[in-house]
Chain A
C-alpha cells in the first residue's frame, strides 16, 4: 500500500470525475476516483478497455479536461496548469515519435523547450540514450528503427528532462510477447534508478502484477480496489477484482453460521467449509450470485487439489469430470466440468494427478484459506 509519510513529489487525486458529452447524451467515463501515490511509486491503473483508466491518466496529464474533482501534485493544484506546464513525461501506445526528427532531436525536444544550453542537451541526451542502450542510433530517424527501439526512444524522450512523474499509456501493447516482458523489466529498472513516480496504464493483469508497487483496479469508471499486487490477488474486495486478477473459481454456497468475520458454509453437493473469511461484494454485483445460494466462495486454481474419483479422502470435496488437461511447463492445468461451481473449474497442480485422464470423473477441493463473497446491499 502507499505509505502515508509526507514526502515531496506525491500525487493526490480527489473524487475525479469525467463526463463526456456525446451525441447520445452525457457519458460518465470516470466517477469519483480518489487515490494517493507516494513518491517514487510505480502505480498501475489496471482494467478492461473502457474502464476509465486511460481517461484518468489523460486528466492527470492535462490532455483531458476535468469535469469535477481535484488533482494535487506536490500540493499544487494541477487544474490550474496547462498540460505543457505540468512537467510530466508521457509514453504513448503508438510511441508518437516525431517522424521528421532524428532520435537525438526527438530526445532533445523537451530539453530545448526548457531552454537548456547545447552542451547540457548533448550530455543529457547521450546519457539517456546510453541508459536505454540506444547509443549508436542517435542520428537515425524513427522510421528506420524497430518497434522495440522506437519504444525505447519514446521512453527516453519522456525521461530526459527529469519530469516530476512519468505517465505510460499501454506502452507495451504493440510489442511482441518476449519483448514485452523484457521492456517491462527495463521500465521498472529505469523508474527506480531515476527515482521518478510512474503512472502506468494497462489491461494486462500479469504485466501489472510484474511491474507495480501499487495497482488500482478500474471497472466501469470506478476505482474498485487499490493495493499491492499480492494484496489485490489474495484479498480482493469485489467479485470483479477477484475474477479480473488472476484466475478464480466460484462456488455457490449457503452461509450456515458466522463468527467474527468468518463463516461456515455449505456448498452444492453438501460439502462444508468452516472458518472462511467473508467479504461483501460491490453493490452492483448482484447478478454474479447463483440463486438460491446467497454467497459465492472464491478459490484460486493453485490453491486446489484434485484426484481421481476412485480415491476416497476424508475432506470436503466437489465432484466433476476432467474435460481437458493442459501441460503448461511449470504446472498442469485441469479444466473440470461440474454442477457444483459457477462455470468450469480450473485446478493447477505442480504435477499430473495420478490416474486422471481427459474425460475421467474427478474429486477436487480447496487447499488453504478462501473467501466468501456476500451480496452487498443496494
Chain B
C-alpha cells in the first residue's frame, strides 16, 4: 500500500495574495509611512526621533505662496466638483429620460475626455482663449471684448470640469436608467404631477450616485497635476508645488510635507462626502427589467438635445483643437496657422519614438502585473476567508484616494537612496503604476467572481480538477470579460499617465506625457499636439477593440 498522503492545501492563491500584499506593503504602505515621517525631518535628512521638526510645515504658516497653494487646491477642488456635478446631472437626466437619438454614441463620446492625455487638452484652452488665442482674437476684432486671462483659475477650473464631469454623468445616468419604473408610476398613480415626481422621487434617487461621482471628481481635482501645471501660470496648487520642490530644489522633505497636507485634505473631503451619503441609503430592488417611459414632448426634446450635444461639443473641443493643431506646420503667432501638413507627425515618428515605446512598454508590463496579481488576489479575497481580509481590501483601495503625485513622491522619497535605490529605473515607474492601478482589476474580479455560482467550481473539483485546473478551465474563462475590461482601462489610463510619472521618470525612461509636457514648456505646441493626437487615436482604438471583444459599450467599461 502506498504511503498515505495528507490532503494537499492549495497554496497557489495564497502565494499570489502574499506577493500582492508584499508589494503593497513595500511599495505603498511603507513609502507612504516613510514620506509622512520624513515630512517631520529637516531638509535632506531621514527621520529619526532626535531630529523631529515641524520646519517643513512652517512654510504653510510663513510662506504666502504655500498658503495660497493650499487655498487654491481647496478652492479649485470644490469649484470643479460643484460645477462638474451641476453640468453633469441635467445631461444625465436628459439622456436617461428624454427621447434623444444616438444615445450609445453620446455615452461613448462622453468617455473621450476621460481617456485623453490630461494636459494636452488643457493647453487647447490656451490655443483658443489665450492672449493670442483664436477665439480671443476674433472676440477682440469683432466685439472689442477682452477675454479674461486663461491662465489661472478660469482655465484650470474650466479644463478640469470638462474633463471630469463624465464620472457624475455616467453614474447618475446609469442609476436613472435602472430605477424601477414602478416607483415613478406609483407616485403618478397617487396623484403627483410630473414635476413633483421629478422633485420628490427621481432626483432624490439620483443623489447617491451623484455623490459617488462627485467624490471621484473631487479626488481627481485635489490631486490633479496636468491642468494646473499647464494653465496655472503664477497660480500654484499643492501638486505643482510638490513638483516645484522636487524639480527645483530636490527638497524631498518639503515635498513630503506638502504630500501629507494634500492627503489630509483629500481624506477630509472623502470622509465628509461619505457622511453626507450615509444618511441616504436606498434599497432599490429592481424586480423588473422594464425601463421607465421616455419623455417625448417637443419642448423638452429640443432643450435636451441642445444641452447634451452642446456640453459634449465643449468637452470634446480640446481634443479637436489638439488634432487641428497637430497639422499646423507653421503658426507664427498669427490668427490661424500659415501652413498645414504632416510635418509634425514626421517629426514625431523620427524623433519622439522612444517615449512612445516607453509608454507602451511600461503600461503593458504594469497592466500584465496588475492582471495576474489583481485577478488572483481578487479571487482569494472573494472566495476565501482569512485573517486581515479587511486590511487587504483597504490597502488595495488606498491609491483610489491618494493623489497620484503623492504616490510618486512617496516612492521617490523612499527608494531614492539606501540599499534599494530605484530612482531612475523603469522598475520604479512600473511599481508606481502597479500600486495605483491594481485596484481596478481587483475590483472587476471581485465583482465578476461574486457572480459565479460557487457550485460551478465545486462541480469542477468533484469531477477531478485541481484548483489550478478549475481556475484555468472554469473560473478564468467566466471572469475574462471583467478582467479584460479592467485591463483596458488600466492600460489606456497608464499610456498617458502623468501625475505619478512626473515624479519618477528619468532621462532614459521618458513617457509620452513627459514628452508632451516638455514640448509644451519649450513652446513646440504643434509637436506636442501631434504626440497627443497619436495617443488619443491609440487609446480610442484600444477601447473600441475592447468593447467589440467584450460586447460591452464604452461607457459600461468605465462605470
* A residues in contact (CB < 8 Å) with B: 61-63, 77, 79-90, 92-94, 96-100, 109-110, 113-114, 154, 157-158, 161, 167
Q: Is A81's CB under 8 angstroms from B455's CB?
A: no
Which of these, B6, B455, B462, B474, contacts A94 with CB under 8 Å?
A: B455
Interface 0/1 of B454-466, CB less than 8 Å to A: 0110111111111
Chain B contacts for A157, CB-based, 8 A: 459, 463
B4/A109 in contact, CB under 8 A: no
CA distance A58 to B443 in the complex (A): 30
Contact of A90 among B4, B462, B466 (CB under 8 A): B462
B384 contacts across to A, CB distance below 8 A: none
Contacts of B473 in A (CB 8 A): 109
**Per-position contact with A for B86-106: 1 when CB-CB < 8 Å, else 0?**
000000000000000000000
CB-CB under 8 A from B474, the residues of chain A are: 98
Q: Quick one: closest B residue to A110, CB to CB? A: B463
A89-B463, A98-B460 are known; give 15 further A-B pairs, CB within 8 A: A80-B4, A82-B461, A83-B462, A84-B463, A84-B464, A84-B465, A88-B462, A89-B462, A90-B459, A92-B455, A96-B453, A96-B458, A99-B478, A110-B463, A113-B463
CA separation between A90 and B473, bound complex, in Å? 18
Alpha-carbon separation in the docked complex, A99 to B463 (Å): 16
- Mark each residue of chain B from 1 to 45: 1 if its CB lies under 8 Å from any CB of chain A, else 0: 000111110000000000000000000000000000000000000
B425 within 8 A of A: no
Question: How many angstroms from the CA of A97 to the CA of B474 in the assembled complex?
Answer: 10
Interface presence of B48 (CB below 8 A) = no
Query: Is B268 positioned at the interface, with any CB of A under 8 Å from its CB?
Result: no
Report yes or no: B7 in contact with A80, Cβ–Cβ below 8 A: yes
Interface size class of B (residues with CB under 8 A): 20 to 34
Chain B proximity of A56: nearest CB distance (Å)? 15
The reply to whether A77 and B4 form a contact with Cβ atoms under 8 Å apart is yes
Indicate if B469 sits at the interface (CB-CB under 8 A): yes
Q: Decide yes or no whether B477 CB sits under 8 A from chain A.
A: yes
**Alpha-carbon distance A35/B510, docked complex (angstroms):** 71
Provide the residues of chain B in CB contact with A63, threshold 8 Å.
458, 461-462
B449 to chain A, nearest CB (A): 14
Residues of A within 8 A of B478 (CB): 98-100
**With contacts A79-B7, A100-B478 known, is A84 near B466, CB below 8 A?**
yes
CB neighbours of B5 from chain A (8 A): 80
30 sampled A-B residue pairs with Cβ under 8 A: A62-B461, A63-B462, A77-B4, A79-B7, A82-B8, A83-B458, A83-B461, A83-B462, A84-B465, A84-B469, A86-B462, A90-B462, A92-B455, A92-B459, A94-B453, A96-B456, A98-B459, A98-B460, A100-B477, A100-B478, A109-B460, A109-B463, A110-B463, A110-B464, A113-B463, A113-B464, A113-B469, A154-B459, A157-B459, A167-B462
Contact A114–B464 (Cβ < 8 Å): yes
A75 to chain B, nearest CB (A): 10
CA–CA, A92 to B454, complex, Å? 11
A113 and B465 in contact, given A98-B456, A100-B478 (Cβ under 8 angstroms)? yes
Residues of B within 8 A of A96 (CB): 453, 455-456, 458-459
- Nearest Cβ in chain A — how far from B388, in angstroms? 16
A286 CA / B466 CA spacing, docked (Å):
48
In Å, the complex CA distance between A33 and B478 comes to: 38
For residue B456, which residues in chain A have a CB less than 8 angstroms away from its CB? 96-98
Residues of B within 8 A of A109 (CB): 460, 463, 465, 473
List B contacts of A167 (CB < 8 A): 462
CA distance A96 to B460 in the complex (A): 9
Whole-angstrom distance from the CB of A306 to the nearest CB of chain B? Answer: 47
- Nearest opposing residue in chain A for B455, CB measure: A96
Query: Which single residue of chain B is at the shortest CB-CB distance from A98?
Result: B474
